[in-house]
Structure 1
Amino acid sequence: MSLRPALTAAVGAALLLLAVPAASAADPAPAPAAEAVTVDPAGGIAADGTVTLSGTYRCVNSTGPVFVASSIGQDSSTVRYGIGGSRAVCDGLEHRWVNTGKPMPGSLKAGTARVEATVLELRPQGLLPLPEFHATQQQDVTLVQR
């Protein structure tokens, strides 16, 4: 058996390890994303079925109107309900958003639900504005009776 293939592999592995910088406690934390949207872990559902969802967003570089849209679904259903849409400001700072809406009566109840929030810009392109997605987030929330 020749030593040459084993030696070549060992040298290659050592060079690969040297090329990868080691992480240390002195490394700075990653910078926050320039564009992001979050969803608060709890939402509200009123006796009349009105749903309130909230969270934060951050976006930059918009040329058209920007909105935070949200939708919600429950159980294993593929049906999702749009819950409002609030106007957004894309100045690079973190802002709060709150959306309310009233889906079909009886369609949602207190408990776990899946929410999707999207920061969406209507960017001017010729005669029609086209959607430009800045950020999106999906997560489970708890709907609390209010």
Structure 2
Amino acid sequence: MPVRPVLLAALTAAMLGTAAGPAGADPSETLTVDPVGRIAPDGTITLSGTYRCTPGTGPVFVGSSLSQADPRVKHGIGGSGARCDGAEHRWQNSGTVSSEALTAGPAHVQATLLELRPTGIVPLPAFHAVTEQDITLAQD
């Protein structure tokens, strides 16, 4: 597996587990989650929304996770690249959950707009925006 998706998944999972928001984030930076997510017959979950962020110095990603019956159990649902140019853009992440089946119905999403800023050997994460929202998973 390529290093970039693994690094993104690990950083997103670690940061989504925290309740802290983006300290010092620009108030014009936003991240939303659509109120309805999709669950395909094969179990693929698709989440979407919008984001707006200001230019940075490193690559930026939208990461998302979903929980259902037990809020302590979060399932990473993909990650996608983001373009930070001050304009509003759509994001969409898809993924399958291997350990536990999710079903149509109420769910909770956490999403993060995260930049990996170059700081020597290892890039450090910097939050642009973080959001949480209750949604409905609808069967395709």
* Alignment match, 1:111: 105
Assess if the C-alpha contact under 8 Å between 1:49 and 1:105 holds in 2.
no
* Cα shift readout 1:68-126 (whole Å, capped 9, x = no counterpart): 00000002341101111110000000000000000126521000000011100000011
Structure 1 outlier segments of 4+, above 6 Å: none
Q: Distance in 1 between matches of 2:122 and 2:100?
A: 37
Normalised by the size of structure 2, how large is the TM-score?
0.78
Q: Distance in 1 between matches of 2:30 and 2:130?
A: 7
Letter in 1 for 2:34: D
Report 1 or 2 for greater relative contact order, CA contacts < 8 Å, sequence distance ≥ 6: 2
Assess if the C-alpha contact under 8 Å between 1:113 and 1:142 holds in 2.
yes
* Cα shift readout 1:32-53 (whole Å, capped 9, x = no counterpart): x410100000000011110000
Task: Flag structure 2 segments of 5+ consecutive residues without an equivalent.
Answer: 1-26
Task: Flag structure 1 segments of 5+ consecutive residues without an equivalent.
Answer: 1-32
Q: Distance in 1 between matches of 2:46 and 2:121?
A: 34
* 2:90 matches 1:96: yes
* Alignment match, 1:125: 119
